[in-house]
Structure 1
Amino acid sequence: MKAVHFGAGNIGRGFIGELLHNSGFDITFIEVDKHTVDYINKTHTYDVYIINDNYRKEVIDKVCAISPITDEDKAIASIVDADIITTSVCVDNLPKIAGTLAKGLKQRIIQHKEKVNILSCENAFYATDILKKALMECKTPLSEQALDSIGCFPNVAVDRIALSTEQDGIRIPQIETSFELVIEKYKLKDPSSQPIKGAEYADNLSMYLERKLYVFNCGHATAAYLGYYHKLPTIYDALNNKEIHTDVLAVMRESALMMTKKFPFKMDELELFIQKILKRISLKDLHDEVTRVGRSPIRKLSRNDRLIGPAMLTENYGLKNDHLVKAVAAAYLFDYAEDEQAVEIQSFIKNNDIKQAIQKYSEITPNDTLFNKIVTAYNKMNKN
């Protein structure tokens, strides 16, 4: 069986690549970084280190890599022959890969190939739907009818800590043993199949997507922004600060309580989920920098993302959200000079004010009850 995966970064090699390999697929990575392509093709293997198993080395074999920049024809040919197509390029980059993927799918139609499962394994809501839309809007677009004739587009929820260390100029993935990959079952080519071993196959994906983004990612981001605010370098350091740990736990519980109102979750099962996540992200061996977890604050402060999304929903359900509001304020104070989005937000606040920033980046208006709460919390933290 053959898999094509767009993106050979930490998630690509350390998470999805490992699962595809363990599911019996030979993998072709479509990757723009020349050094990574050359590294994979040198031995047609790559290494992964398991953090919480004494950094045990795992060798992934039967792999190759193709650059869509220098060898697009080969990339297209690999798409034509694929039995499954996956991505992990960051949701913002899906339009960049859509052209090559669309050309490959067109060739599949011309050659009367079977339908293929296409899964976008990005840390975002309904990323496969976003990819499908990008395929209809790229320079070589396909109509929705054409896409449905050649592809099946299940959405996916992803969860794994995948970091990396540099060896000889190459980023080598370092991963945790635990993970969650939940696939929208009814959209698969064969809903009774399980093409990726270790994944869960769910009828109601939205509850898993929101639990991941609004509880896990929300807490993780809160630890990062409060850690940065207190000038602490890593998530481990942040969560070993009593005040921050209390705030992060409270944020996750505020969000979790909201989830019990929206979905058939029980608070006790979400509490177990919270404790499991806190244990995972607070490992000292992760060396996970707050600036990495807090990167791209424009995306993380958008209306439906990990901070504003649950804060708005708690407002709708009439629930307490003081700690969520504090997390949002801390995100607006994230002024890391090496993060372009952080620089943009801080420049906008300087030239306008925080009220204008909240309206611009979080799409919250002064008519929303959440608006003044964020402004008050921001001004208090900024003054301190």
Structure 2
Amino acid sequence: MKAVHFGAGNIGRGFIGELLHDSGFEITFVEVGQEIVDRINATHTYDLYIINRNYEKKTIDKVKAYSPITQEKEIIAAIVEADIITTSVWADNLPKIANTMARGLKARLAAGKSRVNIMACENAFFATNILKKALLNCTEGMTEDEMTKIGGFANVSVDRIALHSIKDGVSVPEIDEAFELVIEKNKLVDPSAEPIKGADYADNLDMYLERKLYMVNSGHAASAYLGQLYGCATVQEALANPVILEEAVGTMKEAAKVLVKKFGFKEADLQYFIDKNIKRFTFPALKDEVLRVGRAPIRKLAEQDRLVGPAKQAEAYGYEYKHLAKAIAAAFLFVNLDDDQAIEVQDFVKQNGIEKAITHYTNIQADTELFKVILSNYNNLLHVKK
């Protein structure tokens, strides 16, 4: 079996690549970083390290890599022959890969090939739907009919800590053993098939997406944004501070209450979920930089995303949202000179004021109580900022 995976970063090699390999696929990576392409092709293998197994090395074989810059013809040919197509390029970058993928899918359609499962394994709500929209709107411009004829576009929920380190001058993935990959089974080409081993297959993906994004990612983001304000370099350092730990757990508990109401999760199960993830975040061997976790704040402040989404729903249900509001406020103070989104947010606040910025990025209106609590927290956090 053959897989084409766009993106050979930490998630690409350390998460999706590993699962595809263990499911019996030969993998073709599509990767813009020429050094990674050359390293993979030198041996047709790569190594990853499992953090909580004392950095046990695992070698992934039967892999190759192509550059979309210089080897698009080879990528198109690989898509024509693929049994599965996946991505992990960041949701914001899906439009950048759309033309190449569209050319490959059109060539596959012209060759009379069968439908293929296509999954965007990104840390965002319904990322495969985002990919479909990108395929419709790109220069190649696939039609809905073409996409239906050639692909099963299944959304997924992804969760794994995937970092990296430099070994012998090479960037290698370092992963947490625990992971969750939930696949929208009714969108697969064959809903009864389970193409990726170790994944869960669900009829209702919404509840899993929201549990992951609104609980795991909200707590992670709160740790990063507040951690930076308190002068912490890593999430682990931040969560060693009892004040930040309380805030991070608080965001997760507020989101959990929403999910109990909305989907019928059991409160005890979500408390276990919180405890398990806090244990993951605080694992001593991890060094998860706040700059990495907090990056792309515009996307993370979006109306349906990890902080604003549960906060607005909590407000609608009449539930507490003080911890979520504080994390949202902290996101507006996030500074990363290597992150275009962080720079844009800071420039917008300087030019227009925090009041306009809150509504501009979150769509939270100024006449709501949630807006007032966020604004109050922002002004208070200005005095904390290191």
Shorter-chain TM-score: what band?
over 0.9
Give 2:311's aligned residue. Answer: 311
Secondary structure in 2 aligned to 1:58? strand
Letter of the structure 2 residue corresponding to residue 374 of structure 1: I
Give 1:191's aligned residue. Answer: 191
Distance 1:250 1:122 in 2: 25
Distance 1:297 1:188 in 2: 32
Secondary structure in 2 aligned to 1:125? coil
Give 1:366's aligned residue. Answer: 366
Distance 2:204 2:77 in 1: 34
Letter of the structure 2 residue corresponding to residue 177 of structure 1: E
Give 2:150's aligned residue. Answer: 150
Tell me by how many angstroms 1:95 deviates: 0.7
Tell me by how many angstroms 1:365 deviates: 1.6
Give 2:289's aligned residue. Answer: 289
Say which is worse superposed, 335-344 or 48-57, in terms of deviation: 335-344
- Please show how residues 263-282 of structure 1 align to structure 2 within 5 Å: 263-282=263-282
Secondary structure in 2 aligned to 1:286? coil
Distance 1:68 1:340 in 2: 23
Letter of the structure 1 residue corresponding to residue 252 of structure 2: M
Distance 2:270 2:90 in 1: 27
Tell me by how many angstroms 1:174 deviates: 0.2
Letter of the structure 1 residue corresponding to residue 94 of structure 2: L
Distance 2:120 2:293 in 1: 21
Does the Cα contact within 8 Å between 1:7 and 1:89 map onto a contact in 2?
yes
Tell me by how many angstroms 1:168 deviates: 4.6
Determine if the alignment matches structure 1 residue 34 to structure 2 residue 39: no
Give 2:167's aligned residue. Answer: 167
Tell me by how many angstroms 1:293 deviates: 0.6
Does the Cα contact within 8 Å between 1:215 and 1:274 map onto a contact in 2?
yes
Distance 2:99 2:346 in 1: 34
Letter of the structure 2 residue corresponding to residue 175 of structure 1: I
Determine if the alignment matches structure 1 residue 301 to structure 2 residue 301: yes
Determine if the alignment matches structure 1 residue 211 to structure 2 residue 211: yes
Could you list the per-position Cα deviations for residues 15-36 of structure 1 after superposition, in whole angstroms to 9, with x for gaps in the alignment?
Answer: 0000000000000001111101
5+ residue gaps in structure 2? Answer: none
- Please show how residues 88-103 of structure 1 align to structure 2 within 5 Å: 88-103=88-103
TM-score of the two chains, using structure 1 as the length reference: 0.98
Give 2:337's aligned residue. Answer: 337
Letter of the structure 2 residue corresponding to residue 230 of structure 1: Y
TM-score of the two chains, using structure 2 as the length reference: 0.98
Tell me by how many angstroms 1:337 deviates: 2.9
5+ residue gaps in structure 1? Answer: none
Does the Cα contact within 8 Å between 1:223 and 1:244 map onto a contact in 2?
yes
Could you list the per-position Cα deviations for residues 275-315 of structure 1 after superposition, in whole angstroms to 9, with x for gaps in the alignment?
Answer: 00000011121111111111111111111111111111100
Does the Cα contact within 8 Å between 1:35 and 1:170 map onto a contact in 2?
no
Distance 1:380 1:94 in 2: 37
Give 1:252's aligned residue. Answer: 252
Give 2:357's aligned residue. Answer: 357
Letter of the structure 2 residue corresponding to residue 209 of structure 1: L
How many residues are aligned here?
384
Letter of the structure 2 residue corresponding to residue 339 of structure 1: D
Does the Cα contact within 8 Å between 1:152 and 1:189 map onto a contact in 2?
yes
Distance 1:186 1:302 in 2: 27
